[in-house]
Amino acid sequence: MRRRIARPFGSSIPATRTLSLLVSMAVIGALYSTAREASSWRWLEVQAEEAGTAPAPPPAASAETIVAGPNDLDPAEFAKFMSLDELVSDRTQLRQREMIAYWQLVGWSRTQSQADLEKRAQSEPALTQLWAEPENYRGKLLRLRLNVRRVLKYTPSENPLGVTVCYEAMGWTDESKSIPYTVVFTELPPGLPVGAKVESEVIFVGYFFKIMTYQTFDDKARGTPLLMGRLRSIAPQKAGGPPPATSRELAIVGMLGAVLIGGVILLQRKKKRPVRPHSNAGVIDSQWVPIAPTDPTSVGLLDEPVPSLQTAPATTPADTVSP
């Protein structure tokens, strides 16, 4: 008995069509995933803005105000700050008893320029370390690359520095992800807007103070590292094309490429597979029975000739009856 091949999708659907269907579904899924992302269409907005308006000049360098006074470079001044450490509590809101150390750090940042602070600052530590051991970083200079999302201007209460205007910004770094930093500064750099909805990238350098809690819009307590210092805006890079592909998009493209390569290899192997000739010559079915011819005029090779009409017997004159 001839062996039959099981086809799970039916004999009417070849493997090539099934492969094409899978590839088409994967392509449609990739296109849908890319199109639903708002960042995929941002380059159109950038091109429209470039066509309608001239490119904005980079932010001008700000004239920093340097105030003479002691800072952390003075060992006695730093020891004075560390003596106030017992008044500072982490994972709590800002308290009145902490304001002496608070304004001391603000004063330190005003005695040095942004460039001088950046020379001495250490790079951003892991947020887990900052969160677990805040006392080890208190009063230390840190440099952060912030994606600012909010900048507020406010008038502080009476303070020993005589500062009448302060700014508070919240933003995240690539390392902190969704946990924002809160930074306080007294001078607003050019190019940085003030508002509840801001999208700007800055370089901040300042002194770490504490892990402060705050209330979110849904009335939940969250923690944020609080620092005092200076910041400068980063000139936005000109975007002339689509944004770079994300890791998810690269994974989808890689998957599609693997499917296509696998399909090509499968088709090539199928074409190169030798086809065995199938012939029924010499095979006689055991159920075969010869059928006799039904036409009486047909003559086989070994049959005797069959007359088509029978010959009538000869008659004699005697057999003839005359009237």
pLDDT tens digits for 51-69?
Answer: 554 444 555 556 899 999 9
Same domain, 143 and 190: yes
88 and 182 fall within a common domain? yes
Instruction: Indicate the pTM of the whole model.
Output: 0.58
Pairing of strands 200-215, 141-154: antiparallel
Higher pLDDT, 279 or 201: 201
According to the model, what pLDDT value does residue 106 have? 98
Do both 94 and 164 map to the same domain?
Answer: yes
**Within a domain: residue 104?**
yes
Reference 150, options 199, 223, 109; nearest CA is: 199
Co-location of 26 and 120 in the same domain: no
Domain ranges, residue 218: 67-233
Q: 80 and 210, same structural domain?
A: yes
The average pLDDT across 76-100 equals 96
| Domain count within the chain | 2
- Within 10 Å of residue 312's Cβ, how many Cβ atoms? 6
Contact 10, 18 (CB under 8 A): no
- Compute the average pLDDT of residues 70-79: 96
Position 43 scores a pLDDT of: 58
Buried (b) or exposed (e) across 205-237, using 16+ Cβ within 10 A? bbbbbbbbeeeeeeeeeebbbbbbbbbbbeeee
Give yes or no: residues 73 and 204 share one domain: yes
- Does residue 291 form part of some domain? no
| Residue 321 pLDDT greater than 50, yes or no | no
Torsion of CA 197, 201, 202, 204, to 10 degrees: 80
For residue 317, being part of any structural domain is answered with no
The answer to whether residue 323 is domain-embedded is no
Residue 57 lies in a domain: no
User: Are 30 and 75 part of one and the same domain?
Assistant: no
How distant, in Å, are the alpha carbons of 125, 160, 207, 318 from that of 182? 15, 22, 12, 149
Query: Is 307 domain-assigned?
Result: no
Give me Rg for the CA atoms of the chain. 46
**Does 28 map to a domain?**
yes
154: which DSSP letter? E
Pair (35, 131) in one structural domain: no
Candidate ranges 7-11, 201-205, 296-300, 317-321; pick with highest mean pLDDT: 201-205
Same domain, 111 and 255: no
Do 173 and 190 contact (CB within 8 A), yes or no?
A: no
Same domain, 228 and 83: yes
Torsion of CA 257, 261, 264, 269, to 10 degrees: -160
**pLDDT score of 238:** 46
Domain contains 309: no
pLDDT in tens, 145-165: 999 999 999 999 999 999 999
Which residues lie closer than 8 Å to 94 by C-beta, 6 or more apart?
102, 212, 226
> In terms of domains, do 228 and 155 share one?
yes
Averaged confidence pLDDT in the chain: 78
For residue 108, count CB atoms less than 10 angstroms from its CB and return exposed for 0-12, middle for 13-18, buried for 19 or more: buried
